[in-house]
Structure 1
């Protein structure tokens, strides 16, 4: 076959195949190569024996007692996950020592260096397939780390890197190599994954600090999030070799555009920071908006607060509304609140007896507080059908939707009135008939 007439990629593959055949034939006929191969086998067998002895000991040392969840216990569990790497890493280390011996004796060590790279590839493969559980990291390892380790094992990583670096992608007045693009994507993904993980850990730690006010905890969580991802962005720019000075002009132009186009988002973000600083409303508070909607704050974000109503609906309220409109906050993490239950009695009742009867009945309910005030029954009006009263009572919490405490109070009122033979009136109308008109 005339290889000169074949496409360039075919000729390159043919040249690499010839080089590989020459190298393999040289290894097969070389005593140094056979010595290195023997050292590879010995290194693997020694690593196998040592790993079988060490694995039970390491598992016993690294397994924390049941129920422990402090930092040291979590670190021990993490190291326990890495035990499957013991065999390939020991083989890699013993092979490295054998490589030093063969290079000092024979002046070469290509065979044993190849074996060392193979052991490293096996370690990477075990890491990706058996240890990493996070979906993002597993995808990065499966599609990038394992192929790169395989290419490195066969000794072609240098040639591939040179080719990728020489392949330039033009983009307007700028240009970048394919290698730089791959590096940017992988590095950026890993760094921001680490940022997300660090943010989750810091948020969990801050939420456990119960001595801090809820609003202070929320502010600390947001500040840590901004700091972590800001640092991740600066680290990524430094790794990629992008000067922050060159981004200043572009950032200024984008900032002007965002200032006009995203005024509401900026206002909501600043309003959220103000709310966190002042602590006027935070997670767990029951609030009523100016438009009459009410609910418990279950989540705060940079743009809005999420309220959950008593019937399970979620209301997304922009942070700006909490600053520019009237908001009634009924609670501050479990404070006492006052409610009232209206009722009426017949005009035939001795109304002087009613307050004492109702106050005693309501005071017997276990959720009704005696401080700051005991239940107070008040005369409200002389209505068309009966005498109207209302009993005021204090409870520790929110009577959300008037379905939590008020119905039980009304039941107590009903039973007390029935027990004392006090009639609860219903609407009545009196019709006067003056007779038929004359001539009918």
Structure 2
């Protein structure tokens, strides 16, 4: 069966050549007793693998599935347990390998059984990608890299495909690289930086468990570990790819110019964040009020900014530089006491000398009011238009929720105490005078 493809593109001629070779190979396999014997050995290996898998699966499942154990040994056994679906194709691959050695020793060749062996390996890779791998990155890598490579290897075209990819050169300015190098670059870079991300997550979890460290110190340690891990990952990546560090001189210079012009704010905020973590003037959990009026609890500090959560649920992103260059009021300092005031007035007919004792006694009974550093103090503030003005100063261990938490309960206590003692809370009075007498 011949076709005249001389006027077709070169790639079409190559594909036709490979297809013709595959057709001739298939014909030789179908008409060869040696090939049929190898097909028979493949079936024997498959059924032997099924029999061994049926016996081994329950034993391995009981051993690798601890019921109530804990610790690293149990975690390792559970990790291995998820690979049990690979047992059947891997057993078939092993038994086929034994059959291949026998066939080659008898006939001197074993192309058919070698192809079947590669098919079993492809089935194992497919199960690994589709059913076992759960991480999104590795699942993507398996779907678009591992499976195609396994398929090409199964067809026996891996060497041809790699040579073609190596010959396809991509020019990039003064640099040039092959498509094979590009694929290696993407795969190795992804794996290395995934490992860096995993290592960073583990280090963050370990550092956050160190409760003896100050929160600011923990944050600083987290940032330092993150920079160190990804810096080492970047250097390892360059070393594996064979890129000399001297080639980064131009990039470093460009980054320096960018920091001097467009990135100066980012650099300033990063340095300010490091200073905040070192000095501990403001850290996660503190209630702060900035010079611009923004106030809230710091719930997160990043390399560029701090995130404040207000009492109405809003998040405010404040650049770290604002904490250094402007005035910042820190109300909490990790749960220290704060003083608040509650103002009220009484009638001029009241014996004002008894007011302080009445109010101080009533407010001191509230469970959240502190006696240290100072007990409740009722002070006379002035003589108003409608009544005598007082102010109660009290200390609490926490932040008043927008004047709607502690102060509200204190005002309720003041109201009840005044009512219980028959003291009137004044309200404005106005006198209307008619110069010409009352109207008729």
Normalising by structure 1, we get a TM-score of 0.92
Give the Å deviation of 1:301.
1.0
Q: Take 1:228 and 1:77, find their aligned partners in 2: how far apart are those partners?
A: 28
Give the Å deviation of 1:190.
2.6
Cα gap change, 1:64 to 1:365, in 2 (>3 Å): farther
- What is aligned with 1:43? 45
Q: Take 1:56 and 1:412, find their aligned partners in 2: how far apart are those partners?
A: 70
Give the Å deviation of 1:432.
6.2
- What is aligned with 2:423? 422
Question: After the TM superposition, which residues 283-322 of structure 1 pair with which residues of structure 2 at under 5 Å, given as runs?
Answer: 283-322=284-323
CA deviation map 1:184-234 (0-9, x unaligned): 222222322232222222222222222221111111111111122112212
Q: Take 1:384 and 1:335, find their aligned partners in 2: how far apart are those partners?
A: 38
Q: Take 1:25 and 1:436, find their aligned partners in 2: how far apart are those partners?
A: 130
Match of 2:26 among 24, 27, 34: 24
Structure 2 unpaired stretches of 5+ = none
Q: Take 1:123 and 1:243, find their aligned partners in 2: how far apart are those partners?
A: 38
Give the Å deviation of 1:436.
5.2
Q: Take 1:98 and 1:243, find their aligned partners in 2: how far apart are those partners?
A: 48
RMSD: 2.2
CA deviation map 1:100-148 (0-9, x unaligned): 3333443323222222221121111111111222333222222222111
Q: Take 2:406 and 2:207, find their aligned partners in 1: how far apart are those partners?
A: 34
- What is aligned with 1:79? 80
Secondary structure, aligned partner of 1:368: coil
Using the TM superposition, name which of 376-385 and 408-417 deviates more: 376-385
Q: Take 1:245 and 1:359, find their aligned partners in 2: how far apart are those partners?
A: 74
Secondary structure, aligned partner of 1:103: helix
Cα gap change, 1:307 to 1:113, in 2 (>3 Å): same
Secondary structure, aligned partner of 2:17: helix
1:347 aligned onto 2:348:
yes
Give the Å deviation of 1:430.
4.8
Question: After the TM superposition, which residues 143-162 of structure 1 pair with which residues of structure 2 at under 5 Å, given as runs?
Answer: 143-162=144-163
Q: Take 2:57 and 2:132, find their aligned partners in 1: how far apart are those partners?
A: 16
Secondary structure, aligned partner of 1:401: coil
CA deviation map 1:310-365 (0-9, x unaligned): 11111111101111111111113322222221111111111222122212221222
Give the Å deviation of 1:3.
3.0
Give the Å deviation of 1:303.
0.4
- What is aligned with 2:63? 61
Cα gap change, 1:332 to 1:39, in 2 (>3 Å): farther
Q: Take 1:332 and 1:393, find their aligned partners in 2: how far apart are those partners?
A: 18
Give the Å deviation of 1:69.
7.0
Q: Take 1:260 and 1:183, find their aligned partners in 2: how far apart are those partners?
A: 35
Normalising by structure 2, we get a TM-score of 0.92
Structure 1 unpaired stretches of 5+ = none
Cα gap change, 1:391 to 1:159, in 2 (>3 Å): same
Cα gap change, 1:116 to 1:411, in 2 (>3 Å): same
Give the Å deviation of 1:64.
4.0
Q: Take 2:101 and 2:315, find their aligned partners in 1: how far apart are those partners?
A: 67
Q: Take 1:94 and 1:279, find their aligned partners in 2: how far apart are those partners?
A: 65
Q: Take 1:292 and 1:401, find their aligned partners in 2: how far apart are those partners?
A: 13
- What is aligned with 1:217? 218
Give the Å deviation of 1:99.
2.9
Secondary structure, aligned partner of 2:353: coil
Using the TM superposition, name which of 407-416 and 230-239 deviates more: 230-239
Using the TM superposition, name which of 348-357 and 48-57 deviates more: 48-57
Q: Take 1:381 and 1:70, find their aligned partners in 2: how far apart are those partners?
A: 69
